[in-house]
Amino acid sequence: MKDLALSRRGLLAAGLATGAASVAAAADSPVGKGPRTVRVLSIDGGGMRGVVPATFIDALETMSGKPITELFDLFVGSSTGALLALGLNVPDANGRPKYAAKDIIKLYDDSGPIIFNKRKGLLEWTAGITKPTYDPTGFEALLTRYFGDVTIADAIRHVAVPAIHLEEMNMEIFTRRAAQKSPDYNFTMRSLVRAATAAPTFFPAASISSTNGARMGTYLDAATSTNNPAVIGLAESGVVYKDDRVVMVSLGTGSISKPIDAMRAKNWGEIEWVQAVFDLQNDAQSSYTERVLKDFLLDAERDMFFRFQIGLRDIPVAMDETRKDHLDFLKETSALEIKRRLPEVRQLLDRLMV
């Protein structure tokens, strides 16, 4: 079983490394000698529902008394997960985390209307059809204020963030590893968050360039194909840390899981499908990724897979929902789920606090 898990992980890492434009050829050296436990935190996309994983991370920080960067070695985030993964890895002047999860929760609470600011003069029924629904100007100013000129090379821990490169029609994975090896792959965190959250119909695509101007491109949110980026995290851990033990923690942003009337959907056109396709794609891809990871991390004594998710079938909170009562509902539901699974969370902390 161990050999099978290791060989699969190695093949996955090799395949992703050769397929992603931002992944450099050589790997960082693992810390220390012999097998160690590599702790990977993967965060799904989901817009304002990012408050769900932020609430879980806040619980881990509170229960452990440690910043999340002392509990994990590698962070990977898709869309709003990129905001969390990078935001939690911003260093202060002393190299310590500048922000805790509670700070990002406050960001969601206070800045939703700034992030999702509708374009002036855009008719309700044309929103997202003729033009992107939201004007990114306020969001970009918020990112500048939050991240400043910090780059991914400055991240406290290893970080991986995917985005879709429009010109090359592929997924590019931005990593601290590649950025520290070459300035050609170093981008400001604020530009990467903007690129990683450029969800089609919601925001315009983002044109960004590396800090030295050597690489540039126009990007879209990778959550359209990879809302749950845990497989990217598993692959990156294989590149960086080789065949060490893996504790994979995968955080969802709420599963809509709302059945689609098959007979009605058979005759849907573009307008009907565009309203349902994001939730359909995200839930289907996330559930598939969860099954794959359970298969990859076969040995319970060696590896560990923990998935945190809440159900939103009864109250399907949209990714651009900014109303306080809805955000409070997400936080309260997350807290109840943490309480329900408290023995598991404590067991997880035992594995993380190495």
What is the Cα–Cα distance from 69 to 158, expressed in whole angstroms?
10
Phi, psi of 186 (to 5 degrees): -100, 125
What is the Cα–Cα distance from 346 to 213, expressed in whole angstroms?
46
Instruction: Name the residue type at position 164.
Output: I
pLDDT tens digits for range 76-109:
999 999 999 999 999 999 999 999 999 999 999 9
CB 37, CB 297: distance < 8 Å: no
pTM across the whole model = 0.85
Q: How confident is the model at residue 303 (pLDDT cuts 50, 70, 90)?
A: confident
Q: What is the mean pLDDT of the chain?
A: 84
**Mean pLDDT lowest among 65-74, 176-185, 235-244:** 235-244
pLDDT tens digits for range 154-209:
999 999 999 999 999 899 999 999 999 999 999 999 999 999 999 988 999 999 99
State the angle between helix axes of 2-19 and 230-241 in degrees (0 to 180), rounded to the nearest 10: 100
Structure tokens at 175: 């990593």
Instruction: Name the residue type at position 263.
Output: M
Of 240, 298, 293, give the one whose Cα is nearest residue 17: 240
The residue among 1 and 295 whose pLDDT is bigger is 295
Q: Which helix (H) or strand (E) holds 309?
A: none
Q: Is 10 helix (H, G, I), strand (E, B) or coil?
A: helix
What is the Cα–Cα distance from 63 to 193, expressed in whole angstroms?
28
Predicted confidence at residue 131, as pLDDT, reads 76
What is the Cα–Cα distance from 39 to 69, expressed in whole angstroms?
10
Predicted confidence at residue 278, as pLDDT, reads 62
* Beta strand extents in the chain (DSSP E only): 37-43, 74-77, 158-165, 170-175, 206-209, 216-221, 245-251, 304-308
Q: What does the pLDDT average to over 112-120?
A: 84
Burial of 292 (0-12, 13-18, 19+ CB in 10 A): middle
